[in-house]
Amino acid sequence: MSSPLPIRFLQSASRLDQLPNRQLELAVVGRSNVGKSSLINALANRKKLAKTSKTPGATQLINVYELDPEGSGNWLVDLPGYGFAKAPKAEMERWRKMIEEYLLESKTLGGVILLIDSAVGPTALDLQTIEWLDHIDLPYQFIATKEDKVRSSKRGARKNDLVEKLEVEKKDVLWVSVMTGSGIPQLRSVILDFFSN
């Protein structure tokens, strides 16, 4: 097993101008309920660092986690999810604006880890997000979440289907499960590499 990612909660914000100066950020992006906040907890090996919920819409602000040492300015950023159809329209619109402003305008944002629910596959909204990230030229790493929810007998086929729909190669998607811990050490390395460059 690898060591937990040394991160601590720094602050929440609803607008970019509320955030202090920083060096480099990696943002966690994906549908509501895809497992963004759970993944932050798994990376840090903590249960309640980031708020999670069975109900979509748990994360409603930009939540910043700073990597050691304190004041490093290296941030892992948990965002609200997109595509939560049951939220009030005005609320959804507010989240969308917040996410878009952050992704478009934070000058120190170096990349995104883009989460796709492995049991659900890329949704139309996931594909739209990918197109948009391509358009704004922001690099991303695909993460397929909740691997444990796909029966092991179906995993091979599901993986093929997913890479085909994403139009990438198998090596481009990292499969993770916070239930079994699979893929978590690899993702920790990806993140540490990102910040060490």
Ligand X SMILES: Nc1nc2c(ncn2[C@@H]2O[C@H](COP(=O)(O)OP(=O)(O)OP(=O)(O)O)[C@@H](O)[C@H]2O)c(=O)[nH]1
| CA-based torsion, 131, 109, 139, 70: positive or negative | negative
7 binds, among ligand X, Mg ion, none (CB under 5 to 8 A by kind): none
- Locate 100 and state its tokens: 């878009």
17-to-13, 20, 79, 84, 105 alpha-carbon distances in Å: 9, 8, 16, 25, 10
Is residue 141 a contact partner of residue 170, using CB atoms and an 8 Å limit?
Answer: no
Verify binding: residue 179, ligand X, rule CB under 6 A. yes
26 binds, among Mg ion, ligand X, none (CB under 5 to 8 A by kind): none
> How many residues are present in the chain?
197
* Cα–Cα dist 150/74, whole Å: 34
Within residues 64-123, the interface with ligand X by CB under 6 A covers 80-81
Is residue 132 a contact partner of residue 96, using CB atoms and an 8 Å limit?
Answer: no
Closest CA to 147 of 182, 184, 190, 114: 182
Closest CA to 110 of 74, 67, 134, 84: 74
Q: Which is nearer to Mg ion, 58 or 99 (CB)?
A: 58
Closest residue by beta carbon to ligand X: 81
The letter for the amino acid at 195 is F
Q: Which is nearer to ligand X, 23 or 141 (CB)?
A: 141
89 binds, among Mg ion, ligand X, none (CB under 5 to 8 A by kind): none
Per-residue interface string for the shown chain with ligand X, residues 4-43, x marking contact by CB under 6 A: --------------------------x-xxxxxxx-----
Verify binding: residue 158, ligand X, rule CB under 6 A. no
Candidates 5, 10, 37, 191: give the one binding Mg ion (CB under 5 A): 37
- Locate 86 and state its tokens: 């049951």
Verify binding: residue 113, Mg ion, rule CB under 5 A. no
Candidates 40, 42, 44, 59: give the one binding Mg ion (CB under 5 A): 59
CB of 37 to Mg ion, least distance (A): 3
Interacting residues toward ligand X by CB under 6 A? 30, 32-38, 52-54, 56-59, 80-81, 145-146, 148-149, 177-179
